[in-house]
Chains A and B, each alone.
Chain A
Amino acid sequence: MENLLQQLLNGITWGSIYALVALGYTMVYGVLKLINFAHGEVYMVGAMAGYYAAHALGVAGTPSLGALLLVLVVSMAACGLLGALIERVAYRPLRGADRLAPLITAIGVSLLLQNAGQLVFGADPKFFPALLHSEELVRVGGIAVSNIQVVVLATALALMAGLQYVVQRTRFGRAMRAVSYDAPAAALMGVPVDRVILGTFVLGSMLAAAAGILVGLSNPKIDPLMGLMPGLKAFVAAVLGGIGSVPGAMVGGLLLGVIETLVTGYLSSTYRDAIAFVILVLILLVRPTGLFGAPQTEKV
């Protein structure tokens, strides 16, 4: 029982990172109907930007919450810019082209970032600077809660709450929902569609950067290919929750993290990577629109 609760806690922590990345997939899919396969690489760049920022700002050796916050902000800003650049260079020129063309540029951007990462960062894993001293915060009935888990969860939840506010309560959020609902109609109503799409990429990339930093905290080995598998699985999480749905991505991410941790803990660690895809295929067969997606009727 204690073991189960411990696994659940670990799963939720890991799942909150999936959720942050999944949000970027789902938001971009919402406004562009594009599966942005370069998103996992933005998450990787987030972790790397954090690595360099911590060293450049001289906070790599002095762990504190302030240091973490500083690195987080720098990395999110850097990735926000990167997201805007990717959208501007690789996707905007293909607006209106066949829907498959941007899928190929997405793959191109993903390859580009991986290889640029290997060139700049080196192919070998490096250790993310310890921005926080790992310590056991409390122990409730045999479950150890570390300060890192608390920080990861709190940051992720705060960012999701912030996102929910932006999407539901601001002008930009309303524009985003309008574009996602019907882009041509939104354009007719005077919504600057291109700017909204750009903003969506910036927002999604910032969340991915935060996920990169949080992974660096709890799992410090980082390398230029670290975005591949988690990126794909975060995408699975987005589909699980219902692609295009913001609350869906949050729930899907947490759920996937928990399921994966439980499978690793109780069944078999070798099938860890397969479980996400089995869930993916099952959910597609049973309910393709995911947990939170509204079923679409086909118009003839």
Chain B
Amino acid sequence: MRVRSLLAASGVVALLVLLEVVAPRVLNPYYVTILSRIGIAVIAAVSLQLVNGFTGQFSIGHAGFMAIGAYASAALSVFAGAALLDAVSQVVPLSLARIAYFPLVLGFGGLVAAVSGLVVAVPALRLRGDYLAIATLGAGEIIRIAILNIDVVGGARGFSLASPAHPAIDLRFESLAGVFGVAVVTIAVIARLVYAGGGLAFRAVREDETAAESIGIATTRVKVEAFLVASFFAGVAGALFAHSEGYIHTNSFGFVRSFELVAFVVLGGLGSLTGAILAAATLTALPEVLRGFGEWRMILYSLLLIATMILRPQGLLGQRELWPISRLGRGAK
């Protein structure tokens, strides 16, 4: 068993290295950007699936946590990271320093988002069903408008990841291996969380909250935990987005983006990680694939969305997984 997981891990690393080295040489930069956006969408979708699909709580404000992760990490990079990298680069090569720095900044984005997730979750989770959904929608919009009114991070002008004091330091981090590496970690963490023995608690809350409570599951704790983990990874996704695009604007994190994330999880199948991954990748790539249709492309996109939902109301995969991802839960308590 140990040998197999070692093999699997080295396989993943090999694939990531291959992606990092080969993709930018074969594909034009436009496709590389799309790939990177797919990776980010997958992280956000999988994290939302934990709340919406596995715990049965309905959040439609997930983009708000992405916004917090994006802006917090970007602010850290611009106001402290650039100076830090500049100082460290006197001692060690800049490229090495950058590799050590970016996991830190992603973690920071995730942590800040997780704290805000806790602030939203504790009062909001007293609500159920539609009312919870509406509250998360409101929270997401409040986050967006609040950031829009903070002038230090650009406000309505948007926020560019460049430090005027250290113009030589490139704060952007375009790495497919980075994005997909984080995506693999996200998927593994959440799969382990929901498919390990203790993960049954999430699904129990989804199926029947009252019954779950009556058999001794601390439902509030389970729900808060789901929210916390989900907002952490949403924040990481936001931080990745900020550092790969190099420029962020609150318009990227409005309720339209939140709805898109909800579409990923519902279309993929509520309660299916592989479904969410599949839907996130397809729906992110689809507008680009349809580019040949010119101005009809978004019309086709929306028609496809409606038609798929009508033909498969349970989502593409329902609650099944395409790949034995649930094995990741084995051995965990």
Contacts and interface: CB of A to CB of B under 8 A. Distances in A.
Answer yes or no: are A and B bound together in one complex.
yes
Interface of A: 33, 35, 37, 89-90, 93-94, 97-98, 100-101, 103-105, 107-109, 111-112, 115-116, 118-119, 228, 232, 235-236, 239, 243, 270-271, 273-274, 277-278, 280-281, 284-285, 288, 298, 300
B313 interface: yes
A239 to B, nearest CB: 6
- What are the nearest 6 A-B pairs in CB distance? A97-B313, A112-B302, A108-B306, A111-B302, A274-B145, A108-B305
Contact of A101 (B139, B259, B266): B266
A115 B134 contact: no
Given A101-B309, A284-B135, A300-B210, A33 B130 contact: yes
A112 B263 CA distance: 14
A37 B127 CA distance: 20
Given A33-B130, A278-B138, 18 more contacts: A104-B262, A104-B266, A104-B305, A109-B302, A111-B302, A116-B299, A119-B299, A236-B138, A273-B145, A274-B141, A277-B141, A280-B137, A280-B138, A281-B142, A284-B131, A285-B126, A285-B127, A285-B135
A109 B298 CA distance: 11
Contact of A284 (B138, B310, B314): B138
B101 interface: no
Say which size band chain B's interface belongs to: 35 or more
Given A101-B266, A104-B305, A111-B302, A280 B134 contact: yes
A58 to B, nearest CB: 30
Contacts of A277: 138-139, 141-142, 145
A107 B305 contact: yes
A103 B138 contact: no
Given A274-B146, A284-B134, A105 B309 contact: yes
B314 A98 contact: yes
A157 B259 CA distance: 34
Contacts of B301: 111
26 contacts: A94-B309, A94-B310, A97-B313, A97-B314, A98-B314, A103-B266, A104-B263, A104-B266, A107-B305, A108-B302, A108-B309, A111-B305, A112-B306, A115-B298, A118-B295, A119-B296, A119-B299, A232-B141, A274-B146, A274-B149, A277-B142, A284-B124, A285-B123, A285-B126, A285-B127, A300-B210
Contacts of A101: 266, 309, 313-314
